[in-house]
Amino acid sequence: MTIQNSAAAGSTVLVVGGGMAGLAGALAMRSNGAQVTLLEQAPEFGEVGAGLQLAPNATRILRRWGLLDKVVNVGVKPRNIVFRDAVTGEELTRQVLDGEFEERYGAPYVVVHRSDLHRVLLEACREAGVELINDVRVEAVETGTAEAGAAVGRVRSAAGREFTADAVLAADGLKSTLRASVSGDSPIGSAYVAYRGTVPITKDTPAADLEDVIVYLGPDCHLVQYPLRKGELLNTVAVFKSPSFARGEEQYGGVDELEEAYGDCVPQVKAALANLGKNIRWPMYDREPITGWVNGRAVLIGDAAHPMLQYLAQGACQALEDAAALQDITAAHVFRDGGADNTAWDAALAEFAKARTPRTARVQRTARVWGESWHVSGVGQVLRNLLFKARRGSDFHYTDWLYGKEAASGAAQGAAQEARREDATAA
């Protein structure tokens, strides 16, 4: 990644949160030449969870940053995404992921362990010169004025420490503390929970489907499997409607709900439940889309801005899109001609939110609808299966809006071009 001359650029950026969105945002701002400090509340950097799917709208960005090869080297490029009925086992549809798919979208589909992608981004931030500070729990952010009279974002920690910068990226996740400064909403429980697990692939692992992402769709449940780490691990995720979560219990003392949810499924689905870790489950939340991501010199990114259900596998992908869009827009507004303009941050953050909110809102809403279609039963199940089976393998109608080059980058590029036109007119 090429980094502009930081001495010339001179802007400072604070990033709150050391997850995928925070690291990507820090890397993007550092690439524009800003002095970047990232604050993470955990004592050490790390990422929990298991597998992660990166569609071409995300891997194009990793390629742009010079990181795609590193991610592919620790991940897997699956050959297909295959949907099956969990009750009958019949194949409903498949998407071939190489050949025409990769050519159309300009980048591969990659599955990777969350911790591996996190490590790649963390190492890139370190190499780029991002200042990384752990053990800082941020409680509030506000806009103030520096001694020189310029506007700044001011962050206050629980321990009373104060940090200031020209701009603050709030990447503190689903339960974001900083989101409260722009919205009084709360996370919305979906009634569904996920159990996850990774196990080594051995000679006894069933050979079928080890090159694919397999999704079994059942009434009020689904199960996903795919290989990780160059085919050394098998990743399994089981998602089902949980009566205890619907009652407000985030965790549950047994696995009877899990076993009951998949009671009518084919044997290979039931057998896959043995691969799951049973000691913790992940309740699934999202929030309603909002447009007001900006509070003075602070802006929400990633799950802090647009937490979404997992059915489109776009949470991390949209966080990377946020970072790339912010990189482009601030390059046009703030870091013009190799310098930095403190007064342009306000316009840049406003343009970023304008560019990104319609797209992320569509992804959030579509993920909800997509999940509902996965979990139907009875007549709904019959109709869904007919619709899936009617899809042709060369039909990109359902993915162009999400993976396409123009769809992913058009709004941000348009905002950046508009900023350049305004500059030219003013000159």
Count of positions (residues) in the chain: 427
* 330: Cβ contacts below 8 Å, ≥ 6 apart: 29, 32, 345, 348, 352
Lookup: tokens for 148: 């020189």
Nearest-10 crossing angle of helices 405-426, 315-333: 20
Range 105-128 burial, b when 16+ CB lie within 10 A, else e: bebbbbbbbbebbbbbbbebbeeb
403 annotated active-site = no
Residue 247, judged by CB atoms within 10 A of its CB (0-12, 13-18, 19+), counts as: exposed
Q: Three-state DSSP class for 19?
A: coil
- Which CB contacts under 8 angstroms, 24+ apart, belong to 406-413? 407/57, 407/359, 408/57, 408/60, 408/321, 408/359, 409/324, 409/325, 409/328, 411/325, 411/354, 411/355, 411/356, 411/358, 411/359, 412/324, 412/325, 412/328, 412/329, 412/352, 412/355, 412/356, 413/328
Amino acid letter at 6?
A: S
Residue 278: name the closest of 201, 195, 213 by CA.
195
Residue 175: name the closest of 281, 270, 307 by CA.
307
Q: How far apart are CA 79 and CA 277, in angstroms?
A: 27
Which among 226, 262, 285, 403 is annotated as catalytic? 226
Kindly list the catalytic residues: 226
